Amino acid sequence: MATASAKIELVRRLADQFRSVRGVFDDYAADFTADGLAIPDQLILADVANWVSTHIEDSGEAVAILDFLDGRYPQEHIDVKGLIAVGFVESLARSWEPHGPQVRAASGPYLRRLLDILESQGAIFAKDLE
């Protein structure tokens, strides 16, 4: 079973690689660790997904984040896949929302599959992660 550290490691890798994620990560890390709490990986990914959705048309970094997560997805443990699905994909713009079609078009095959599942059944479940 993947530990919480495997999940936060994915988020740390994102923050190390992408400037737009670094600020979000640092803010949450400072706030939560100051209170003795774990860094909220799911909240960070949700904020990143919102940023990606908003900037999909004007930032190559938004597309690069989609590529990074799509590339990591098949290699990750089921728990980390769940984090990507619930923390990130479920917060991306949907097809009927502004930027939704652009997000879907820029997503790789794994994220696109999760977006399709999300749109067809309203949520992503553990059975959908493989």
State how many domains the chain has. Answer: 1
Q: Nearest CA to 43 among 61, 28, 21, 59? A: 28
**What pLDDT does 2 receive?**
58
Q: Which residues touch 96 (CB under 8 Å, ≥6 apart)?
A: none
Q: Which helix (H) or strand (E) holds 126?
A: none
Q: What is the DSSP letter of 127?
A: G
CB 92 within 8 A of CB 115: yes
Range of the domain at 112: 4-128
**What pLDDT does 95 receive?**
87
Tokens of 44: 């960070």
User: pLDDT of 95-125, one tens digit each?
Assistant: 899 999 999 999 999 999 999 999 999 999 9
- Spell out the SS3 assignment of 46-113: HHHHHHHHHHCCCCHHHHHHHHHHHHHHHHCCHHHHHHHHHHHHHHCCCCCCCCHHHHHHHCCHHHHH
Low-confidence ranges of the chain (pLDDT < 70): 1-2
**What pLDDT does 72 receive?**
96
**What pLDDT does 4 receive?**
77
